[in-house]
A and B are shown apart, each in its own frame.
Chain A
Amino acid sequence: MILFRQALRFTSRLPFICGRCRTYSAQVGSVERVISAFRSVSGDEGVSVGSAVREQHGRDESVHICRPPDVVVFPRSVEEVSALAKICHHHQLPMIPFGTGTGLEGGVGALKGGVCFSLRKMEQVLDLHQEDFDVTVEPGVTRKGLNSYLRDTGLWFPVDPGADASLCGMAATSASGTNAVRYGTMRENVLNLEVVLADGTVLHTAGKGRRPRKTSAGYNLTNLFVGSEGTLGIITKATLRLYGIPESMVSAVCSFPSVQSAVDSTVQILQAGVSIARIEFLDDVMINACNRFNNLSYAVTPTLFLEFHGSSKSMQEQVSITEEITRDNGGSDFAWAEDEETRGRLWKARHDAWYAALALRPGCKAYSTDVCVPISRLPQIIVETKEDLIRNNITGSPIAGHVGDGNFHCLIVLDPNDPDEVQRVHSFTERLARRALAMDGTCTGEHGIGLGKRALLREEVGPSAIEVMLGLKASLDPKNLMNPGKVL
């Protein structure tokens, strides 16, 4: 149940300053024995025990401390992944898949040592079918890399979590992003996966090479692995659903007197059937931070950033419907733009939110909470959360949210070397998660369970669901070698 406390405890026992210490592997001698076996599969350049390489593969972008693996392997094909997995399975070595290391919940930490499978050498875009709107990618292909590859085709993959993450990694964490309100999350956009299981078996979740847009064939194995965060297998291919790049994109900004009025507008905009693609909410603290960071002068009140996708003919109408809705709810300073430069300027505040938050307290780290509730409960939870922040002296924490999904992030800037502050932040995040659960929501809208939210998962889904999850895990990975210590 512990985010920071456990992380702090491990600091005192810490490690890897000298490359000779390999204190955490389950059986220390066995790792050396298997390294030559790894080299015979992936070549000398495909296996690394260098401390810098291991440390790089033991951390992501979260506040969790680095937990390096004992060895990092770089397979070049699914056959190599399978062969390496068989070796690990035989020697009972933990396996941790690694994409781009841009996760936010400590999912790549090797808590029990073991072998990190860095999949970046498998970076092909395979099988693009333009008329069918699907493409298959290997784990080394990132979101921006794919969209650049597709730029001549008029197609794109719109799930946008911010970071330039590995697409298979995004499938593993069921990532989402600012576009989810129109295009969905990874759950809705993965058609098929190729997965290597703990014993080296290669599994095609929807059947080899299959890519129908819909199916009712058997159990939905594809969505079992989406969001499994590397605990059920290593994803080596993902078949993704593509969309046409919309003819026109229009951005708009509007200020509101209160959180309630901003959320009410959001609900009405969704109900009006406007072709909205992004609705982002920034609270007054966030706007203030952005003003200071970017020398802007937005009114320091709750603000909505909107983006519409559609045909150029319909844009004018969509914008005026939206403007009317915001005005009826007390909104003001409605500004909009269609050309790319002005759009970029309008949205700059939202794009730089993370850095603006960090700039509030230079030298500190930032932690992002990630709860999601039904949209109608959003005003209440945001108001209560802000009161909580003030009451507990966790000052100046800006809030940004994908308000169209009821998902918001509290960007807490903290000094990791101040144990009192760490403790207060930790308690706050637990309270926030429980507040969301009490409102029929979830403790994680898009970042995943990872290392720190396992106890919250139990509270959220309940004992029966946890039992089923444990049963599935035991069935697919009876030796608990796949990313141990995460999710369950």
Chain B
Amino acid sequence: MLPLRFRRVTMSARVLVGVKRVIDYAVKIRVKPDRTGVVTDGVKHSMNPFCEIAVEEAVKLKEKKLVKEVVAVSCGPQQVQETIRTALAMGADRGIHVEVSGKDYETLGPLQVSKIFAALAKKEQADLIILGKQAIDDDCNQTGQMTAALLDWPQGTFASEVTLEADKLKVVREIDGGLETIKIKLPAVVTADLRLNTPRYATLPNIMKAKKKKIVNVKPADLGVDVSSRLEVLKVDEPPQRQSGVKVETVHDLVEKLKEAGRI
């Protein structure tokens, strides 16, 4: 008798997609005067670009009828519901809003988020988790990997191509040396890299339809997750200002200036 997992036909598969609300990529970031972080008040926020790619991939799988349901998940305060709505407008079926606010939200990081995802994956009986490879605000590139470890699931990170073959996933990964192709068994975690796909723009009719889709509110405590952080941010600084160059007249002057600057 085959184990229960093998009996699960991919046609009824459920995909969990994580979407993070971040400062929009086009905004010029400013450090707060007290150097505890960056200015977020009144600044345009949108879905992390790699999360957009993750949602697009999940919706494509659904359109090809390879998976049954796409669930969009986001952790944060009330505003993250906008981000979940965008995922719904792109084609996700329903949303889960994990409520984290105030100090807990400021210190929320990959370890807590991956614990939340692991708990949700079990609760929702997910077969596949697709995340963006990293968020453009913290550039951590840890959540996907930690989630897989907590669940003891295989992982296909930096995916530039994903193909579903029965109960296995063929993932082409972008690595330093080029491309690596692996086959991993479902259930698994995949993190999306830039070239995986080009995300669709949410059309106005789809945004209207998405308003009828459900978003369920959940608290981390309900999932048995402690969101307190073991990290403390000491300070945040801007990168040093670029200095203008100096023109010199002779090679001798160049050598003198390099010596002055302690370079030689």
The reply to whether B204 and A245 form a contact with Cβ atoms under 8 Å apart is yes
Select which of A149, A154, A156, A244 is within 8 A of B44 by beta carbon: A149
Complex interface bits, A154-177 against B, C-beta within 8 A gives 1, otherwise 0: 111000000000000000000000
Q: Which of A145, A149, A152, A311 contacts B202 (CB 8 A)?
A: A152
A to B CB contacts below 8 Å, 26 in the list: A148-B26, A149-B24, A151-B46, A151-B201, A152-B46, A152-B47, A152-B82, A152-B86, A152-B202, A153-B202, A153-B204, A154-B89, A154-B201, A154-B203, A154-B204, A154-B206, A154-B207, A156-B201, A244-B204, A245-B203, A245-B204, A246-B203, A246-B205, A247-B203, A311-B205, A340-B198
The chain A residue with its CB closest to the CB of B199 is A151
Q: Within the complex, what minimum Cβ distance (angstroms) separates A141 from chain B?
A: 10
Give the residues in chain B near A155, CB-CB below 8 Å: 204
A421 smallest CB distance to B (angstroms): 41
Bound CA–CA A411/B121 (angstroms): 57
State in angstroms the CA–CA spacing of A152 and B47 once bound together. 8
Residue of B nearest to A155 (CB): B204
Interface size class of B (residues with CB under 8 A): 10 to 19
CA of A145 to CA of B86, assembled, Å: 19
Contacts of B24 in A (CB 8 A): 149
Task: State the Cβ distance, A39 to closest chain B Cβ, in Å.
Answer: 17
Q: 7 tightest A-B contacts by CB?
A: A244-B204, A154-B204, A154-B207, A245-B203, A247-B205, A247-B203, A151-B201
Interface size class on chain A is 10 to 19
Who on chain B is nearest to A247 by CB?
B205
A interface residue numbers (CB < 8 A to B): 145, 148-149, 151-156, 244-247, 311, 340
Q: How far is the CB of A326 from chain B (nearest CB, A)?
A: 27
Which residues of chain B come closer than 8 Å to A148, judged between CB atoms?
26
Residues of A within 8 A of B202 (CB): 151-154, 245
Measured CB to CB, the nearest residue on chain A to B46 is A152
- B26 in complex: contacting residue of A149, A153, A340, CB < 8 Å: A149
CA distance A247 to B207 in the complex (A): 10
CB distance from A399 to the nearest CB of B (A): 31
Known A-B contacts A145-B26, A148-B26, A152-B86; A244 and B47 likewise in contact (beta carbons under 8 Å): no
Instruction: Provide the residues of chain B in CB contact with A153, threshold 8 Å.
Output: 202, 204, 207
Does B200 sit at the interface, judged by CB under 8 A?
A: yes
In the complex, which of the residues B46, B82, B198, B203 contacts A244, with contact meaning CB atoms closer than 8 Å? Answer: B203
How far, in whole Å, are A156 and B82 apart by their CA atoms in the complex?
18
Chain B residues within 8 Å of A149, by CB: 24, 26, 44
Residues of A close to B203: CB separation below 8 A: 154, 244-247
By CB atoms of chain A within 10 A, which of B26, B198, B203, B206 has the most? B203
Q: Which residue of A lies closest to B209 (CB)?
A: A247
State the CA gap A68–B39 with chains docked (Å): 39
Assembly CA distance A409 to B205 (angstroms) = 35
A87 to B240, CA, bound (A): 36
Given contacts A148-B26, A154-B89, contact A244 B205 (CB under 8 A): yes
* Interface 1/0 per residue, B22-53 and A, CB below 8 Å: 00101000000000000000001011000000
Which residues from chain B contact A151 at a C-beta distance below 8 Å?
Answer: 46, 201-202
Tell me if B207 and A340 are in contact (CB < 8 A). no
Closest-by-CB residue of B relative to A151 is B201
**Least Cβ distance of A307 to chain B in Å?**
15
Nearest A residue to B205 via CB reads: A247
Besides the contacts A247-B203, A247-B204, what 18 more A-B pairs have beta carbons closer than 8 Å?
A149-B26, A149-B44, A151-B46, A151-B201, A152-B47, A152-B82, A153-B202, A154-B201, A154-B202, A154-B204, A154-B205, A154-B206, A244-B204, A245-B201, A245-B202, A245-B204, A340-B198, A340-B200
